[in-house]
Amino acid sequence: MKKSNLIMALMVLLGLSSCQENKTSENAMSEQTNILLQDFDTPYGVPPFEQIKTSDYEPAYAVATAELRAEVKAIIENTEEPSFENTIVALERSGSTLEKVDGVFGNLLSCNTNEDMEALAQKITPLVTGVYDEISMNDDLFKKVKFVYENADQSNMTQEQKTLLKETYKGFERGGANLNDEDKAKLKKINKELGILSLNFGSNVLKETNGFKIVISDKARLSGLPQGVINAAAITAKNNGEEGKWMFTVQKSSMIPVLSYADDRELRKEIYKGYTTRGDHNDSLDNKENVKKLVNLRLEKAHLMGYENWAHFILENNMAKTPEKAYELMSNVATKAIARAKEELVDLQKYADNEKAGISIEPWDWWYYTEKLRMEKYNLSEEELKPYFKLESVRDGMFAVASKLYGLEFKLNAELPKMDPLAEAYEVYRNGELISILYMDYYPRASKRVGAWMTSYRKQQRNADGTNVIPVVSLTTNFTPPTDNAPALLNLDEVTTLYHEFGHGLHGMLSNCTYQSLSGTAVSRDFVELPSQIMENWALQPEVLKTYAKHYQTGEVMPDELIAKMQKAGTFNNGFTVSEFVAAAVLDMAWHKIETPFTGDVNEFEANTMKELGLIKEIAVRYRSTYYSHVFSGGYAAGYYAYLWTAVLDADAFGAFQETSLFDEATAKSFYENILSKGGTDDVEIMWKKFRGREPNIEFYLKRQGLE
């Protein structure tokens, strides 16, 4: 009888017709052999990547969602008076199988996808969204949660328990529990549509990125490009069936060198246009309609929930609290950055005029003349630095920083299953105790989306018996791979990117919480970037550079004069860098503070927003709307400002080390105890004040950026 009920549940959940009943039975019968539904028989319980088949996911999701429903049903039908343990903790502990399955599928969808996975995501997303909507809008369950929230004796509760209670109740409220039945039905429909649209947006961006290639057969067009870049382009061409030629893509590891060094202006323009027009070709991969639908559905959801727009709905839960507070910061910084960028433009145009280039600077010229001007002013080139930034050396130096700050040890384990043969897996120890598994997945591939990110296949938590469950953390980047002639060499931006994602990784690995929903990076968007951005500060400190920046051929430590030049040029071009970033943050917020449905032209809206901001035409917004994945297929809608908000926090937090010493033991201990280990177990404002003793001070950020 029990097996029969499970089969019926599977049919309902997957929407299968009667003609598929035999196949469904086979899926249910194979539950015992589905690797995703078993305890992973691997060291430390990491995912057995090589054993997982695409066909495993759909039946695994069906079983996992049925299991979650049954667990929630048991909570609702419990006849005992609702309590923190039998309601709040029971909810927290439910859905473990779904979390495991979703942790594998969701992460591999980003770093190892294919057409079958993407098609499957279209089916799974509404399934999972629907289940969570059912739970968050269940009246009987909410009554129990509300009873506990209003009657619990918090005097005997830990801070983490108080936070779990508050966040659980708030999660139901924000999930629609207080809506009437008609509005609940509307919200479920909206959530389902939002999930599918986000998937479509991201899929289009990936296909557009993979589809753009420039093939060059005339070597003269490579003038100005460093030999390492040329070698990498030759390998890319060979791997794509164009042996004897050179191929460039809009992966940043390929595009940025072209924009920075290619003398061929048309080549620079072509790759720039290829990057900045993704999703904007009025074809099957065009994202403009997806943008309009997403912002309008988010607005509709905000109105249903009683908010004037999506920005107010989101920021209520953030450290900033209101869009007005976020705008105040963005406006302050934008005014200073754009003014500096205008000064930089004058210098670039003067340089081009002196070269008798006969041009007016355009966006595809900015990087090129910036590099020339950098050489003239500081005698410093990115290519001069790259030989000292061998990927493995940067990684080891980064590990050494974490060791000095937090007592960590990293041991490579080549036997662990991996998501890609070129990825690395490490056991991470603190004071001799294993605290995490860390994956490092460095290089681009067609199955991986662009960018860099940290994620978890399993979050840290404690089981009901108090035993610690170590997290399985993964850092994903898209760095230029090694060639036949050289190892993987990073540019400055890639060095800081690796440190940035590692900072997120530390937040996940050093978590010391009881409940997984509060552990690791489970904090507000405008606080979650603090651990990542503060780590960037150590990357280029002279004391740290001396430990890892060694020439990959000679082993020579980076000379003092080169370090000095790099430090001197530290704020060079920051007007451009900060302006393009703030422009993206403002564009995100502009889309999500609309209060009536948007029916206009996406590109016109974007252009008008940039005009109002005062962004000069020679600088493009970092992410145009049609490929703004952070906002339209990620979790940063009305939240991209968070990078700026936390830049203020990280500059101030690093100031605490500058006031003492780079590896001050007491300061590092305080940052670990009050920030890194706490997850979201307390209000972020309280966590910050416990560390710094006061409100954040923007002056540290402005000084660091040279914008005072």
In this predicted model, what pLDDT tens digit does every residue of 616-663 receive, in sequence order?
999 999 999 999 999 999 999 999 999 999 999 999 999 999 999 999
> 0.85 exceeded by the pTM?
yes
> How is 384-432 classified by DSSP, letter by letter?
HHGGG-BHHHHHHHHHHHHHHHH-EEEEE-TTS--SSTT-EEEEEEETT
Q: Is the sign of the CA dihedral 287, 289, 290, 296 positive or negative?
A: positive
Is the torsion defined by CA of 461, 462, 468, 469 positive or negative? negative
pLDDT of residue 484: 87
Banded model confidence at residue 19, pLDDT cuts 50, 70, 90? very low
CB-based burial, 428-437: b 16+ in 10 Å, e otherwise:
bebeeeebbb
Averaged pLDDT, 562-585: 96
Domains of the chain: 2-178 (1.10.1370.40), 212-276 (no CATH), 288-380+575-632 (1.10.1370.10), 387-568+642-705 (1.10.1370.40)
- 574 alpha-carbon distance from chain centroid: 23
Cross-strand bridge partners of residue 473: 438, 456
Whether 44 and 437 have beta carbons less than 8 Å apart is answered as yes
32 has a pLDDT exceeding 80 = no
Q: What is the mean pLDDT of residues 113-130?
A: 94
Specify the pairing of strand 472-476 against strand 433-441: parallel
pLDDT band at 26 (very low <50, low <70, confident <90, very high): very low
- Please report, to the nearest 10 degrees, the dihedral formed by the alpha carbons of residues 403, 408, 409, 411 taken in order: -120
What is the pLDDT averaged over residues 261-272?
A: 98
Q: pLDDT band at 124, cuts 50/70/90?
A: very high
pLDDT band at 447 (very low <50, low <70, confident <90, very high): very high
Identify the pLDDT of residue 561. 96
**CA-CA distance, 21 to 11, in Å (whole number)?**
8
pLDDT score of 30 = 57
- Supply angle C-alpha 86, 89, 93, rounded to 5: 115
Region 602-627: mean pLDDT is 97
Positions marked catalytic: 501
The predicted pLDDT at position 509 comes to: 98
